[in-house]
Structure 1
Amino acid sequence: MRIVSTMAMALALGGALVAAPGYAAKKEDKAAASKATPAVHKAAFEAQKAAEAGDIPTALTNYNAAKAAIANDDDKFMVGQIGYAIYQKNKDEALQGEAIDLMVSSGKAPAETQAKLLVAQGQIAYNKRDYAKALTALQAAQAAGAPDADVIPMIVEANAASGQTLQALKVLDAGITKLRAANQPVPIEWFQRGIAIGYRAKANPADIPAINNATLEISKQWVAADPQKKNWSAALQIYQEQFKLDNDARIDVFRLMRAAGVLSGDADYREYADLVYLRFPNEAMQVLQEGNSKGIVNLTGKSDASDVMGIVKGKVAADKASLPTTDKSARASASPKGAISTADAYVGYGQYQQAVDLYKVALTKSGVDAGLVNLHMGWALALAGDTAGAKAAFAAVTGPRKPIADFWVIHLDHPTTANAAAS
């Protein structure tokens, strides 16, 4: 979400703003010029003539005389035009800002030109860190019909720079929604900038939950629009940090990352294995073996990974053999915990139908966390290749794990792509 430089904005405005007041060729220009008071008209004429001859000191002298004689809005517009014409010669940014302010305040510019002037006014104010003025101008530009692509990034940045992080994200979300409603593509940098603003927020503590939720929603849209591995990894990392997930929720995120193929380094594989090896030894073993096969995890020599691998290798056979017994006990128990844990273990061994059956049993038990069970059922069904069933299970997830279910659905609808080559 790049902010255009003041110079670039000046070039964008160009000479279209400047009509020669004294000897314009077009009839409409002469008519506009005639509305100015005689003193302003005469001084403006001399200023423009000097500017075109390259005599900037004389042009400025007459410009100041014209400015001093301003008596009405037509005078303001003419003096602003001449000031801008001189700016195009001497590149005095203070003069540029003054000229644009005069034209804006006159209200005499044609509608399309007024919108451009307001954009330029907002840009100049932003560069001067006058964020209140920038926001006033840019919001007026938007109301006047300036293209969203010109104003939304700057409104977002002005809000963010003035500490209004939540408002910045709200503006961005509204802009994204508007573009999508019009079937227009959303620039990928809009998502990236919104996430950066939300992630780095140093806001009023009362705003933090809303900022985190807004960042989460932008993150979801980002990976749906551009599902590169690095984007998935970044989005899920930010989600974990902002929402301070407990270990069980982090396991759920790692399971999604593994399915999406976005475990991004040795630390991811080792942390995943560390979180599950005591309860689900086969899942830990598979994770470490996968990381090793990709050349990411070193299982030779003395290391945490090799230690964990040594432990789980000796537990897998007995753990798998115990499943029929734990399954029977889980079904008979009044608590859902055994059914959930045993179903999770079934998934680790690739026994997806057994897992789904047991998750359904868990849902019938008193005190069950239905959101958790539906999330894990969706996980099993997704790995089994039952996309429709998985999405139905994820749709039933409510509560704190709903974001993970939402990310799962995005993954199913938008398969991960390789990272784009650096340009």
Structure 2
Amino acid sequence: MKLPMTAIALGLAAMGMTTPAAAVTTAVAQDEEQKAPELSKKGQEALAALQAAIQEERWADVPALVATAESDTETNDGKIILQKLRLNAAINMEDYEAAIDPIDKLAAMGAMEPQFNQVYVEVGKRRLFDENYDGAADVLQKALNTDPNNAEALIALAEVRTEQGQVDEGIKLLTDAIAQAEAAGGAEESWYKRAVKLAYDNENPAVFGLTRNWVTNYPSASNWRDTLRIYMGFNDADPAKVLDIMRLQFAAGALESEGDYLLYAEELLRAGFPGEAMAVINAGKQANAFDMNKRIVTEIISMAENQAKGDRESLDADFQGALSGSEPKKTITLADAYYGYGEYQKAAELYRAALGKSGVQANLANLRLGMTLARSGDYAAAKEVLSQVSGAQADAAAYWLAWVETQM
């Protein structure tokens, strides 16, 4: 199927070239801003003959007629019309490679038009498919020289650079394309997935920002699971960070397998939070995640049940002392315990108290306070607190912020 001539017709309109061949010599008088092109008599005749052949789809005649027009066309207007006609013929014959030369010539004459740029992109994608990476890079860069914000060209060039071994450049181009698309209304999820995979496979730190943007725009449980597992994979040496991210995984409904629930419960037991471990185990039971015939499952559940006995009752005895005491670490630990039992009001009161004590780890306290407010449903307050977190807790706070954004 031949492509429509609309784009080229629009380009020819100002030159009076949208009428039949015999009308080439007639000035367009319908629009006062349009003026008749300056053409010699021989040039008019040669261009009219070429235009007629294109309209009648006499493709075998086109090469000779182009050669004649190149010889007989002397004015700048005529040369521009000739290149637009060549482009017209190439597109209608679906010979996109042949369209590059007339576009290059039009650009050199200052007659480049936005609709022509898409031909560069189309040829670039075809060359990429054919593994002609240098050729693809050449035309895609031309497209970006004309339109630096062309997300489609950025995506294609990113794949080219990746195939050329310039992976970091490919990731940057993908990130730029996503940003352009987001500004214009939204990027395709496949773009996020490709960028995340490249960044993760190559241990590029851009993976963190990319995954956060991905789940902010496509916040499914499976996407949250993948995103947070990626983050934990980079931070498996820091149990405290991993635990706060597991808490987010739980909040986002992103625990999926038996292994997810068991790993989280084990980390909580190791950190001394049996009540929170029981909450995770009960959620796993409700989700039918456990094979109760497995020894490891029954052992972890039994351990949690034993450690949880009397744990909740012991918390209240320490509450007032933690509020008024001078040791912020103890106050935060007790707040963490209340958080695990879902008692967010008491947890928030303790975190705020800790922030007023000398020597407090303010970023840690604000992270946990923001998490608590988010879990309580006070998303506006959570966003405000989490936005203040910096330092070692900044990444975890950023992921929690991304989740809060999806809840508001």
- Both structures adopt the same fold (TM-score exceeding 0.5): yes
Which letter maps to 2:195?
I
Structure 1 residue 96: deviation in Å?
Answer: 2.4
Q: Note closer, same or farther for the CA distance 1:213–1:272 as it changes in structure 2 (3 Å cut).
A: closer
1:281 aligned residue (263, 274, 281): 274
Residue in structure 1 matched with residue 27 of structure 2 by the alignment: 27
Of residues 18-27 and 303-312 in structure 1, the stretch that sits farther from structure 2 once superposed is 18-27
* Counterpart-to-counterpart distance in 2, 1:35 and 1:65: 18
Residue in structure 2 matched with residue 261 of structure 1 by the alignment: 253
Q: Does the alignment pair 1:307 with 2:299? A: yes
* Counterpart-to-counterpart distance in 2, 1:202 and 1:390: 29
CA contact (8 A) 1:22 1:33 kept: no
1:101 aligned residue (90, 104, 115): 104
Residue in structure 2 matched with residue 49 of structure 1 by the alignment: 52
1:78 aligned residue (71, 78, 81): 81
Structure 1 residue 368: deviation in Å?
Answer: 2.7
1:138 aligned residue (140, 144, 152): 144
1:200 aligned residue (188, 198, 201): 198
Instruction: Give the share of equivalent positions with the same residue, in percent.
Output: 23
* Counterpart-to-counterpart distance in 2, 1:204 and 1:72: 54
* Counterpart-to-counterpart distance in 2, 1:294 and 1:269: 10
* Counterpart-to-counterpart distance in 2, 1:82 and 1:301: 76
Structure 1 residue 81: deviation in Å?
Answer: 2.4
* Counterpart-to-counterpart distance in 2, 1:384 and 1:52: 69
Structure 1 residue 365: deviation in Å?
Answer: 4.2
* Counterpart-to-counterpart distance in 2, 1:337 and 1:412: 26
Gaps of 5+ in 1: 1-6, 143-147, 180-185, 417-423
2:210 aligned residue (211, 215, 218): 215
* Counterpart-to-counterpart distance in 2, 1:308 and 1:202: 32
CA contact (8 A) 1:169 1:214 kept: no
Structure 1 residue 70: deviation in Å?
Answer: 5.9
Residue in structure 2 matched with residue 404 of structure 1 by the alignment: 396
Of residues 156-165 and 278-287 in structure 1, the stretch that sits farther from structure 2 once superposed is 156-165
Q: Note closer, same or farther for the CA distance 1:50–1:391 as it changes in structure 2 (3 Å cut).
A: closer
Could you say what secondary structure the match of 1:277 adopts? Answer: helix
Q: Does the alignment pair 1:350 with 2:342? A: yes
* Counterpart-to-counterpart distance in 2, 1:187 and 1:260: 22
Which string of whole-angstrom CA distances, capped at 9 and with x for unpartnered residues, describes residues 200-251 of structure 1? 138998xx34x245425523xx52x443333333433344446667322121
> Residues 378-389 of structure 1 correspond to what in structure 2 (within 5 A)?
378-389=370-381
Of residues 20-29 and 277-286 in structure 1, the stretch that sits farther from structure 2 once superposed is 20-29
* Counterpart-to-counterpart distance in 1, 2:313 and 2:104: 80
Which string of whole-angstrom CA distances, capped at 9 and with x for unpartnered residues, describes residues 62-87 of structure 1? 21333456655434322222223332
CA contact (8 A) 2:363 2:391 kept: yes
Residue in structure 2 matched with residue 65 of structure 1 by the alignment: 68
* Counterpart-to-counterpart distance in 2, 1:328 and 1:51: 89
* Counterpart-to-counterpart distance in 2, 1:132 and 1:334: 66
CA contact (8 A) 1:48 1:85 kept: no
* Counterpart-to-counterpart distance in 2, 1:155 and 1:391: 33
* Counterpart-to-counterpart distance in 1, 2:253 and 2:296: 23
* Counterpart-to-counterpart distance in 1, 2:94 and 2:29: 25
CA contact (8 A) 1:378 1:390 kept: yes
Q: Does the alignment pair 1:337 with 2:337? A: no
Could you say what secondary structure the match of 2:22 adopts? Answer: coil
Residue in structure 1 matched with residue 175 of structure 2 by the alignment: 169
Gaps of 5+ in 2: 128-132
Q: Note closer, same or farther for the CA distance 1:69–1:159 as it changes in structure 2 (3 Å cut).
A: farther
Which letter maps to 2:262?
R
Q: Note closer, same or farther for the CA distance 1:338–1:132 as it changes in structure 2 (3 Å cut).
A: farther
Residue in structure 1 matched with residue 130 of structure 2 by the alignment: none
Which letter maps to 1:270?
L
Q: Does the alignment pair 1:247 with 2:239? A: yes
* Counterpart-to-counterpart distance in 1, 2:41 and 2:221: 67
Structure 1 residue 252: deviation in Å?
Answer: 1.0
CA contact (8 A) 2:319 2:334 kept: yes
* Counterpart-to-counterpart distance in 1, 2:308 and 2:77: 86
Structure 1 residue 192: deviation in Å?
Answer: 4.8
Q: Note closer, same or farther for the CA distance 1:309–1:176 as it changes in structure 2 (3 Å cut).
A: same
* Counterpart-to-counterpart distance in 1, 2:224 and 2:2: 34
Structure 1 residue 199: deviation in Å?
Answer: 3.8
Which string of whole-angstrom CA distances, capped at 9 and with x for unpartnered residues, describes residues 245-276 of structure 1? 73221211221222232323333222211211
Could you say what secondary structure the match of 1:201 adopts? Answer: helix
Which letter maps to 2:154?
I
* Counterpart-to-counterpart distance in 2, 1:23 and 1:249: 77
Residue in structure 2 matched with residue 13 of structure 1 by the alignment: 7
Residue in structure 1 matched with residue 186 of structure 2 by the alignment: 187
Q: Note closer, same or farther for the CA distance 1:16–1:253 as it changes in structure 2 (3 Å cut).
A: same
**What is the TM-score of this pair, normalised by structure 2?**
0.78
Higher relative contact order (CA 8 A, sep 6+): 1
**Root-mean-square deviation over aligned CA pairs:** 3.8
**What is the TM-score of this pair, normalised by structure 1?**
0.75
Could you say what secondary structure the match of 2:28 adopts? Answer: helix
Structure 1 residue 325: deviation in Å?
Answer: 6.0
